[in-house]
């Protein structure tokens, strides 16, 4: 009897899974975009931000600088949403870059394997960056961390605590454990946290203290194990 029940449950799950899979379909947008989209980001306000990247065999456009937004209709439907062009960063038109949406709704764009500001894409592995504010519809340029010459298309991510982490490209620094983009984090900190500045002595002291505690924690375990060994035992084992 138990086997029959298990078989019935398995068949029901299989049937539901099959039916849900067959019900999944694609719907074309009612209002098609007039550009070739590349990087696409879902913003916290429900709109979709897309970068113009006419990087295809049949593309004739040379516009790599423009950004567009898809806004759903009054009922929340993206199918019937509308495309509008938004502001573009000045002097910064990257292709293949790192990008994330910050917890406060702003968008960070960093690096770029190619510089397309002239309409022709040239390999640059740029270290430029910018932050987009969807409310003000404006971009703010961001300087790279000290010593960073290339970022290119390196990875970026938002950590669970809201911290923005960025790798760099083509140098040994990019493979090190410290991938935190210091100077950019200062801009993000100023945008997200009220009355906080990256040059605040308390912030700097807290960062140094945290690194010191991590170093002590990393060395404490092997040190305690070494001290617990009887020196007289080691010659016997030799």
Model pLDDT for residues 96-119, shown as the tens digit of each residue: 999 999 999 999 999 999 999 888
Has residue 40 been placed in a domain?
yes
In this prediction, residue 170 carries a pLDDT of 78
- Cβ atoms 99, 40 nearer than 8 A: no
The domain tally of the chain equals 1
Has residue 11 been placed in a domain?
no
Has residue 228 been placed in a domain?
no
Count CB neighbours of 198 within 10 A: 15
Structure token digits, residue 49? 């931000």
The mean pLDDT value of the chain amounts to 78
Q: Tell whether the model's pLDDT for residue 83 goes beyond 90.
A: yes
Average pLDDT over every residue of 143-161: 90
Q: Is the dihedral of CA 55, 56, 57, 59 positive or negative?
A: negative
Average pLDDT over every residue of 132-150: 94
Q: Tell whether the model's pLDDT for residue 210 goes beyond 80.
A: no
Has residue 179 been placed in a domain?
yes
In this prediction, residue 55 carries a pLDDT of 77
- Banded model confidence at residue 238, pLDDT cuts 50, 70, 90: very low
Burial (CB count within 10 angstroms: exposed 0-12, middle 13-18, buried 19+), residue 116: buried
Average pLDDT over every residue of 140-154: 91
Task: Output the pTM of the full model.
Answer: 0.63
Average pLDDT over every residue of 205-211: 63
Give the residue with greater pLDDT, 189 vs 50: 50
Give the residue with greater pLDDT, 99 vs 181: 99
Query: Which domain range does residue 34 map to?
Result: 28-204
Average pLDDT over every residue of 70-75: 96
Picking from 118, 128, 178, 164, the residue whose alpha carbon sits closest to that of residue 149 is 128
Backbone phi, psi, residue 137, to 5°:
50, 55
Picking from 40, 74, 69, 38, the residue whose alpha carbon sits closest to that of residue 56 is 38
Has residue 18 been placed in a domain?
no
Average pLDDT over every residue of 189-208: 56
Has residue 217 been placed in a domain?
no
Has residue 221 been placed in a domain?
no
Has residue 98 been placed in a domain?
yes
What is the per-residue pLDDT across 5-46, written as a single tens digit (0 to 9) for each?
Answer: 555 555 555 555 544 555 689 999 999 999 999 999 999 999
């Amino acid at each position: 009897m138990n086997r029959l029940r298990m078989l019935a449950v398995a068949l029901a799950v299989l049937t539901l899974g099959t039916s849900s899979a067959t019900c999944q379909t694609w719907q074309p947008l009612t209002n098609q975009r007039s550009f070739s989209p590349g990087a696409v980001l879902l913003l916290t306000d429900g709109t979709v931000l897309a970068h113009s990247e006419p990087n295809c065999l049949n593309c004739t456009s040379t516009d790599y600088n423009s950004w567009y937004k898809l806004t759903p209709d009054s009922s929340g439907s993206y199918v019937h949403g509308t495309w509008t062009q938004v502001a573009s960063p000045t002097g910064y038109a990257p292709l293949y870059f790192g990008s994330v949406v910050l917890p406060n709704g702003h968008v960070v764009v960093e690096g770029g394997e190619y510089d397309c500001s002239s309409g022709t894409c040239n390999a640059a592995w740029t270290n430029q960056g910018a932050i987009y504010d969807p409310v003000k519809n404006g971009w703010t340029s961001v300087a790279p961390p000290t010593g960073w010459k290339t970022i290119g298309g390196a990875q970026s991510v938002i950590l669970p605590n809201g911290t923005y982490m960025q790798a760099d490209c083509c140098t040994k620094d990019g493979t090190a454990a410290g991938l935190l983009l210091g100077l950019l984090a200062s801009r993000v900190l100023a945008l997200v946290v009220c009355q906080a500045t990256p040059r605040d002595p308390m912030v700097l002291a807290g960062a140094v203290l945290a690194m010191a505690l991590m170093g002590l924690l990393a060395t404490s375990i092997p040190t305690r194990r070494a001290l617990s060994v009887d020196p007289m035992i080691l010659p016997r084992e030799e």
